């Protein structure tokens, strides 16, 4: 696994810390829970997209792009991190934002990640939910190209084989950390969405023959679709990496029981997880991804699916900037702020 063969802009703060969560573990009374702090990757409050963008933005630079374009939900962390990375490289950034929640709230629409997109100088364009966003982005990119811009488009969540290399790198980094400290881990869990994180991790873990099962907690799609998306991307990523066939379909496991009504709409247990991490560990989760992943982790511990004697690592994928778009939901515990 020779990642140095791929163009990369070294900008992430790596390796991210691997820390034990004593108080949360004690509270849940089950396994020993550790946290891999990918919320600390740097780049405008950090998060998992930084690792992907190291490889994606290197491709943009190599093709001489002067503008990057991407798309996501209104409170997209990926959009915010892409905007920040573009600033660092002196590229323009244009973002297409899809309204996936119907929240009319001011902070949801203009604060949090949206505020940061604009601070980094990105331009944004809004679309109603259910739009063909990849199609819209290609149209917008064509229009900019006709205008003389050299546009590099990045798919939603940065999830293609290039972006997934960032999480192959994370698997390698985590194994180095546990091997060098003599620490055996039984399982790795995290929130899964556009699939690049889980696909990269599973390719890395399997290529290294780590023997560590990976579980993704869904945040949007139903289980069969989520697992298929991850598997398809893992297959392509393994090919890119030069180890085709390393991932089997059954290596890809996602539990989508904690999604609730839909993408970006927190459930009661999402909010409970955010509060528990904040109050017991001083760690900020987010209402769209890591809060749902942590809700799954907590429920698995309570139900005895993760047991005493096991050591579980929760990969914190970031997203805390999104909290400032969800202040009303957090204050009221009311998870339906949709337009009447
Ligand atoms: C994008 C994102 C995820 C999901 O990662 P994917 O690679 O899209 O599956 C998880 N957590 C946070 C905070 C994110 O922004």
pLDDT(334) > 70:
no
Per-position b or e across 274-296, b if 16+ CB within 10 A of its CB: bebbeebbebbbbbbbbbbbbbb
Distance from the Cα of residue 250 to its chain's centroid: 22
Q: Residue 332: what pLDDT?
A: 74
pLDDT(74) > 60:
yes
For ligand 1, the distance from its centroid to the CA atom of residue 77, given in whole angstroms, is 8
Which residue in the list 25, 76, 195, 320 is annotated as catalytic?
76
pLDDT tens digits, 224-237: 999 999 999 999 99
Instruction: Find the mean pLDDT for residues 174-188.
Output: 98
Q: Residue 133: what pLDDT?
A: 97
Instruction: State how far the Cα of 45 lies from the Cα of 13, in Å rounded to an integer.
Output: 11
Return the residue matching tokens 């690049």.
196
Q: Residue 340: what pLDDT?
A: 34
Residue 1 pLDDT level (bands cut at 50, 70, 90):
confident
pLDDT tens digits, 261-276: 999 999 999 999 999 9
Q: Which of 81, 319, 322 to mutate to test the pocket of ligand 1 (most atoms within 8 A of CB)?
A: 319
Q: Residue 264: what pLDDT?
A: 97
Catalytic residue check, 76: yes
Residue located nearest, by CA, to atom 1 of ligand 1: 157
Q: Which of 198, 284, 316, 318 to mutate to test the pocket of ligand 1 (most atoms within 8 A of CB)?
A: 318
Instruction: State how far the Cα of 53 lies from the Cα of 266, in Å rounded to an integer.
Output: 27
> Which atom of ligand 1 is the closest one to the Cα of 159?
7
> Which atom of ligand 1 is the closest one to the Cα of 200?
7
Residue located nearest, by CA, to atom 8 of ligand 1: 194
pLDDT tens digits, 101-137: 999 999 999 999 999 999 999 999 999 999 999 999 9
pLDDT tens digits, 27-57: 999 999 999 999 999 999 999 999 999 999 9
- The reply to whether the predicted model has a pTM over 0.95 is yes
Whether the CB-CB separation of 258 and 221 falls below 8 Å is answered with no
């Amino acid at each position: 696994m020779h990642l140095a063969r791929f163009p990369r802009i070294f900008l992430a703060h790596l390796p991210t810390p691997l820390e034990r969560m004593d108080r949360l573990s004690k509270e849940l009374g089950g396994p020993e829970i550790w946290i891999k702090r990918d919320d600390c990757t740097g780049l405008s409050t950090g998060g998992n997209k930084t690792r992907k963008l190291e490889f994606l933005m290197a491709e943009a630079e190599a093709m001489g792009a002067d503008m990057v374009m991407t798309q996501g939900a209104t409170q997209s962390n990926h959009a915010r991190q892409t905007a920040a990375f573009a600033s660092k490289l002196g590229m323009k950034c244009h973002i297409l934002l899809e309204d996936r929640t119907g929240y009319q709230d001011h902070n949801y629409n203009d604060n949090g990640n949206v505020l940061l997109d604009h601070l980094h100088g990105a331009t944004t364009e809004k679309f109603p939910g259910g739009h063909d966003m990849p199609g819209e982005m290609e149209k917008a990119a064509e229009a900019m190209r006709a205008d003389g811009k050299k546009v590099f488009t990045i798919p939603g969540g940065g999830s293609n084989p290039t972006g997934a290399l960032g999480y192959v790198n994370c698997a390698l980094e985590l194994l180095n950390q546990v091997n060098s400290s003599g620490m055996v881990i039984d399982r790795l869990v995290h929130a899964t969405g556009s699939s690049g994180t889980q696909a990269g991790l599973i390719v890395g873990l399997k290529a290294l023959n780590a023997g560590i099962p990976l579980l993704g907690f869904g945040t949007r799609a139903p289980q069969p679709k989520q697992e298929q998306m991850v598997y398809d991307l893992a297959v392509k990523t393994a090919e890119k990496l030069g180890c085709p066939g390393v991932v089997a379909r059954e290596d890809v496991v996602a539990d989508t029981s904690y999604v609730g009504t839909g993408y970006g709409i927190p459930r009661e247990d999402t909010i409970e997880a955010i509060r528990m991490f904040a109050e017991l560990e001083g760690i900020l989760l987010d209402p769209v991804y890591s809060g749902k992943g942590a809700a799954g982790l907590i429920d698995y511990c309570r139900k005895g699916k993760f047991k005493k004697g096991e050591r579980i690592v929760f990969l914190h994928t970031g997203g805390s900037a999104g909290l400032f778009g969800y202040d009303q939901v957090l204050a009221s515990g009311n998870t339906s702020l949709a337009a009447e």
